[in-house]
């Protein structure tokens, strides 16, 4: 095995604790390897297989992933690695079990269960650990990150986001104190990230680079609209857009780019998935539902999908409102379709202005991805985020579609 960031004995120890939760004995644990360098920004993923016996002495197999924090001290001192893992562990330890219990009590037939099974979480000194099921081994796969998702992929995620968001509204409506307790201590790590001066500068540079590209390509209307916007303090625009707390907030997924979804397909048809699992809850926070929707749609769409925006929004709201009724609350009172459109108009700014930075990560070649594990004390985090564009035209067309939609779409 190569390039595993922590000792194999540590991984084996964590997995041993995890299998104790499912009563496996006589286990053989095989640490198989990890994802490529640069695939994880603050964490590492290690693949592990377990062969054991259940209480009936029958053979049983588990395929797991161990997700743990990076051990680079310089990185940990400059990026809130601990906080990101605390947020994700809170989702798996508290949020998901609370939502599952609530759904069972309401006798919901089609429950929201679209997260990997979690076997163990640990908060150790200078290390954080989650042991999760390996979704690849049960047929789930990633969508190609360099290509936009088609409407079928987006609609499936939107329906699941509708259910997940509805759970917040219903719990807050019916058990306000329990919902408040669930949200206590939840942070917005995007805000913390943007407090870094070099990161703010990187976001600004990405917008200014796109501005030059628009002028060079003769898209003068888009150029002028964007120029008028970023002449103002774009740093404050980004931060302030996430600082406006309001009553109609939910627990968000928070990190809605391509590689945080794994899909299951029928046979060889990769155009229309029938199930999805939502990964990486490290940026989960408490904000308007529109933040998840805008990030998802803008980060994963081309012009083709944005032309069907009304259809996408209606897909989300139909799932949300039907599920909220199943849970015993009234969507017209808590979050109507009119409210949703108002929230989009108010809260889509952050996603739109973040896309010139976000899509650099999405569209870059693997060798150009920022290797946060190589971070050293004194390094400029913003400079690390500067990525070479291997296909500037593809990048430009994706951003152009997003920003035109943002500026032109009016309810």
Write out the DSSP string of 257-305: SGGGEEEE-STT--SS-SEEEE---TT--EE-HHHHHHHHHHHH--HHH
List, in order, residues 6 or more apart from 239 with CB less than 8 Å away.
191, 194
Residues in a beta bridge with 105: none
Confidence of residue 41 (pLDDT cuts 50, 70, 90): low
The per-residue pLDDT of the chain, averaged, comes to 91
Structural domains of the chain in order of their starting residue, each with its CATH number: 1-133 (3.30.200)
71: its two tokens: 């051990």
For residue 63, the model assigns a pLDDT of 96
Q: Does position 203 have pLDDT exceeding 50, yes or no?
A: yes
Q: Does position 38 have pLDDT exceeding 60, yes or no?
A: no
For residue 388, the model assigns a pLDDT of 78
The per-residue pLDDT for range 224-251, each reduced to its tens digit, is 999 988 877 777 788 888 887 778 999 9
- In the chain, % of residues over pLDDT 90: 72
- What average pLDDT does range 297-326 have in this prediction? 98
Q: Does position 1 have pLDDT exceeding 50, yes or no?
A: no
- In the chain, % of residues over pLDDT 70: 92
The pTM of the full predicted model, rounded to 2 decimals, is 0.94
Confidence of residue 55 (pLDDT cuts 50, 70, 90): confident
């Amino acid at each position: 095995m190569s390039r595993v960031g922590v000792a194999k004995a540590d991984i084996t120890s964590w997995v041993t604790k995890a299998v104790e939760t499912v009563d496996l004995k006589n286990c053989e644990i095989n640490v198989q390897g990890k994802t490529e360098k640069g695939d994880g920004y603050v964490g590492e993923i290690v693949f592990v297989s377990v062969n054991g016996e259940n209480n009936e002495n029958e053979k049983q197999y588990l395929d797991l992933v161990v997700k743990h924090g990076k051990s680079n001290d310089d990185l940990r001192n400059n990026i809130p690695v601990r906080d990101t893992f605390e947020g994700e562990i809170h989702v798996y330890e508290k949020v998901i079990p609370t939502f599952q219990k609530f759904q069972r009590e309401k006798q919901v037939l089609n429950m929201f269960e679209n997260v990997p099974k979690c076997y163990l979480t640990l908060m150790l000194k200078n290390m954080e650990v989650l042991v999760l099921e390996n979704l690849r081994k049960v047929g789930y796969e990633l969508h190609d990150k360099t290509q936009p998702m088609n409407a079928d992929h987006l609609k499936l995620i939107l329906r699941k986001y509708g259910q997940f968001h509805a759970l917040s509204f219903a719990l807050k409506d019916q058990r306000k104190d329990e919902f408040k307790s669930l949200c206590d201590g939840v942070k917005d790590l995007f805000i913390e990230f943007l407090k870094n001066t070099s990161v703010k500068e990187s976001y600004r540079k990405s917008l200014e680079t796109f501005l030059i590209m628009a002028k060079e390509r003769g898209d003068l209307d888009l150029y002028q609209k964007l120029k008028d916007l970023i002449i103002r303090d774009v740093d404050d625009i980004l931060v302030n857009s996430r600082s406006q707390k309001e009553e109609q907030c939910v627990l968000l997924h928070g990190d809605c780019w391509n590689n945080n979804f794994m899909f299951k397909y029928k046979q060889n048809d990769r155009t229309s998935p029938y199930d999805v699992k939502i990964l990486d809850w490290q940026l989960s926070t408490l904000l308007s539902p529109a933040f998840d929707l805008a990030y998802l749609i803008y980060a994963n769409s081309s012009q083709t999908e944005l032309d069907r925006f009304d259809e996408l929004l209606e897909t989300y709201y139909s799932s949300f409102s039907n599920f909220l009724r199943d849970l015993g609350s009234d969507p017209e009172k808590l979050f109507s379709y009119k409210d949703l459109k108002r929230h989009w108009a108010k809260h889509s700014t952050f996603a739109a202005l973040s896309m010139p930075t976000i899509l650099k990560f999405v569209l870059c070649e693997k060798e150009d991805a920022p290797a946060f594990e190589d971070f050293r004390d004194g390094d400029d985090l913003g400079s690390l985020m500067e990525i070479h564009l291997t296909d500037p035209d593809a990048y430009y067309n994706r951003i152009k579609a997003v920003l035109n939609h943002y500026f032109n779409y009016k309810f």
